[in-house]
Chains A and B, each alone.
Chain A
Amino acid sequence: MGKKLLLEHINVPGIETFEVYRKQGGYASVEKALKTMTPDAVTEEVKKSGLRGRGGAGFPAGMKWSFLDRKSEKPRYLVCNADESEPGTFKDRYLMEKIPHILVEGMITSSFALGARTSYIYVRGEYMYVIRILEKAIAEAYANGFLGKNILGTDYSLDLYVQPGAGAYICGEETALLESLEGKRGNPRLKPPFPAIAGLYASPTVVNNVETIAAVVPIVNMGGDEYAKIGIGKSTGTKLISASGHINKPGVYEIELGLPVEEFIYSDEYCGGIWKGRKLKACVPGGSSVPILPGELLLKTAKGEQRLMTYESLSDGGFVSGSMLGSGGFIVYDETACIVRNLWTFARFYHHESCGQCSPCREGTGWMEKVLHRIEHGHGQASDIDLLVDVAKKIEGNTICPLGDAAAWPVASAIRHFREEFEFHVKHPEKVVNPKHFEITPFVSERVAVIG
């Protein structure tokens, strides 16, 4: 069993209540930070921990905190990004639903470190029932003196609010989120200035993912150095992985970074292997935006090394033969899955979610969806495959925010690794028209990893 830092008490009955959470040692990080540490000392522990942003980008959290303009006369804000919308990712929902107080606790400790007096948790609107759970947890924290004026008798005061979104993937991009929180359309902002200088209401702001903020709790409790001992190299600590697709046990798993990918997929402790006794064909290991990998490149790098669940190992080989840990949205496909149809659903997603600000993304995502739709529905032409690659290339790097890249990478990687499957669709439309699953053909089985 790997170490559990966030989900350790997840199965304790009543853990969603303040009383039970407190009995399990909850809110200790608030007591420790407010009573025995300075805000800068808390930030220092987070830096030492090596914690990297858990939303997808993996940027060092302590460094992000250190960029906050502390000289400004304006109020500072901490905003929690709970707009989880990356296909394949549902870990934040699980955490907030099951153990909401760890997020509230993390928000208080982190707000103290950053000197924020008002903080917001921006939750995607579809998670309305989760908002209700968080509101209850926050009310309990107020009632017990952990929020409001003079927390625990210190001179630190904090108000914490939940803000609902209303259905827009783009609001997971931090500046779009801030726009949305200001009551506007979720159009990402041009940077600089970065939120650390001019974020919410043009004030210094830190935006952190739910899991990142929750991880501050064990970091402050155990100390940054201890936390950094977990994991491998620059991938420290534990990570929540959302496992979905063709596996026996979909769900959220907390792993120590460094776990072999193969163990994660096949061990009964985690995914429990591929469903229906089938074989592994492909995997999107970090949410829909990251490159898809065929089974054999998922389990072993191009150099033949065992692939590990770390930021570095999953990206080994770059975009030629690697992928990314991303948000930890781990989507597994068995040997019958149609890569083209899956990609079409992703392309439709990005087209639907593009905010429309930048032409390459607004138009390009639409074209990719259309072209993939026609290939999938038996009207594709041989030139369509290179057309897709071309459109993806022209989106990548040419937009204000990373949604453009996120839309381009899945297309580029699916064609790179599964070009034969696209060609098969074009050459044999009669065999693939409206397939829910794909007949296993020789080239597909070659793609199946030998293990499992």
Chain B
Amino acid sequence: MSETKTIQFSEETMATVQRLIKRYPEGRQKSALLPLLHIAQAEFDGWLSPAVMDYVAVILSIKPIEVYEVASFYTMYNLNPVGKCLIEVCQTGPCWSRGSDDIVEHFEKKLGIKVGETTSDGQFTLKTVECLGSCGTAPMLQCGGDFYENLTNDKVDTLIEKLRANGQRSTYMKDNRVM
């Protein structure tokens, strides 16, 4: 999180951005705002700093406030730094009915943090979220673009080890070519 990057999309990403903007009628480039914020978040350390949002505003020729109001509305945009792996455990009714409380508790114990906190090594942030549309395979969680379903404490242990060993920052988008 401490690393500083120049806020500038790579040439390749910029090509994607230009391609995205063409999906909408002329003058409606603001429609590309949500996908662009996803890309920006993936590219700039997993969160949207004011500087990153201002950069996106320039690309789309809109006012910075138009970006802030959108970024602060949608839950998938992080307005503060998060750990490398953002663990999002679903806690709504159907997941609760299959034991999501136990899963959250197990994570808290294993990681030594409470919901909303980040481990001191900056590896994991634990979050509870509302329905992720995976009720038939509850309890479940999302980490980056991946769904982990039918969770048990054992599966959680394995996942934590796997993510720790991987060391990569999880992102909703594995690559920008998704869109």
Contacts and interface: CB of A to CB of B under 8 A. Distances in A.
Interface stretch (A58-66, A126-134, A386-394): A126-134
A164 B179 contact: yes
Considering the complex of A and B, which 8 residue pairs feature the smallest CB-CB distances, nearest first? A166-B74, A167-B75, A183-B33, A244-B135, A183-B30, A167-B76, A250-B136, A87-B131
Interface in B30-74: 30-35, 37-38, 60, 62, 66, 69-70, 73-74
Interface in A272-325: 284, 288
A349 B131 CA distance: 8
A227 to B, nearest CB: 26
Nearest to A352: B130
A185 B34 contact: no
B97 A337 contact: yes
Given A242-B135, A349-B130, A161 B94 contact: no
Interface string A317-354: 00000000000010101000100011001101100110
A284 B131 CA distance: 15
A65 B54 CA distance: 40
Contact of B173 (A84, A93, A128, A252): A128
Interface string B82-103: 0000000001111011110110
B16 interface: no
A23 interface: no
A75 to B, nearest CB: 8
A185 B28 CA distance: 15
B92 A349 contact: yes
- Looking at chain A's contact residues, the main secondary structure is mixed
A128 B172 contact: yes
A288 B93 contact: yes
Contacts of B132: 126
Contacts, number: 161
Contact of B94 (A84, A182, A186, A244): A244
A143 to B, nearest CB: 16
A181 interface: yes
Q: How large is the interface on A (under 10, 10 to 19, 20 to 34, 35 or more residues)?
A: 35 or more
A421 interface: no
Contacts of A85: 131, 133
A242 B137 CA distance: 11
Nearest to A252: B136
A243 interface: yes
B172 A90 contact: no
A166 B73 CA distance: 9
Interface in A242-268: 242-246, 250-252
A228 B95 CA distance: 36
A136 to B, nearest CB: 10
Which among B31, B60, B74, B97 has the greatest number of chain A C-beta atoms within 10 A?
A: B97
Contacts of B173: 128
Given A90-B134, A161-B23, A183-B31, 10 more contacts: A87-B135, A88-B131, A129-B145, A129-B146, A135-B179, A244-B98, A244-B138, A331-B97, A342-B96, A436-B101
A242 B69 CA distance: 34
Given A182-B28, A201-B25, A90 B179 contact: no
Nearest to B36: A183
B5 to A, nearest CB: 22
Nearest to A160: B23
A46 B35 CA distance: 33
Contacts of B136: 90, 94, 242-244, 250-252
Given A245-B97, A345-B92, A162 B135 contact: no
Nearest to A165: B34
Interface string A406-419: 00000000000000
Given A93-B133, A125-B74, A250-B137, A183 B94 contact: no
Given A245-B98, A342-B96, A436-B102, A331 B135 contact: yes
